[in-house]
């Protein structure tokens, strides 16, 4: 759990984005455009909370909101090109940090870590 927390902290502080905002952006990158309510459900937050998250991202030009083509009461949230670039740069920074830490391990430790990956994947997907 400490590693997950540390990886979440590996973000560009100058962007002034919190973990909730980065997480919502990641959902949009991985799953595509979402209705506001669907995004809230995927992030396990209440719709008013997701509205605040999206408002902050939209103000920075990282996401865009458009009316649903059929139900105008709903809006579709889309990750912008700028948002995609910010998120991918953040991931590269995190991945580089982790790669450096793994490279510092002994070969036997790296081998053990490699063998644990399928187990960690099962735990994560349970």
Q: What span, in angstroms and rounded, lies between the C-alpha atoms of 39 and 33?
A: 9
CA dist list (Å): 94 to 26, 75, 108: 14, 32, 23
What are the residue ranges spanned by the domains of the chain? 2-125
pLDDT reading at 14 higher than 70: no
Average pLDDT taken over every residue of the chain: 91
**Fold for domain 2-125?**
Arc Repressor Mutant, subunit A (1.10.10)
pLDDT reading at 11 higher than 80: no
pLDDT digits (tens, 9 = 90+) for 17-61: 888 999 999 999 999 999 999 999 999 999 999 999 999 999 999
Q: Is the C-alpha dihedral spanning 63, 32, 34, 25 positive or negative?
A: negative
pLDDT digits (tens, 9 = 90+) for 72-101: 889 999 999 999 999 999 889 889 999 999
State the pLDDT at residue 7.
74
């Amino acid at each position: 759990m400490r590693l997950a927390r540390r990886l979440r902290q590996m973000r560009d502080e100058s962007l002034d984005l919190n973990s909730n905002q980065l997480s919502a952006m990641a959902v949009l990158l991985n799953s595509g455009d979402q209705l506001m309510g669907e995004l809230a459900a995927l992030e396990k937050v209440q719709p008013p909370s997701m509205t605040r998250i999206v408002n902050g991202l939209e103000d920075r030009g990282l996401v865009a909101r458009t009316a649903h083509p059929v139900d105008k009461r709903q809006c579709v949230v889309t990750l912008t090109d700028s948002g995609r670039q910010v998120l991918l740069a953040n991931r590269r920074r995190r991945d580089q940090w982790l790669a450096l830490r793994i490279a510092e391990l002994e070969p036997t430790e790296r081998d053990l870590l490699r063998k644990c990956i399928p187990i960690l994947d099962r735990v994560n997907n349970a």
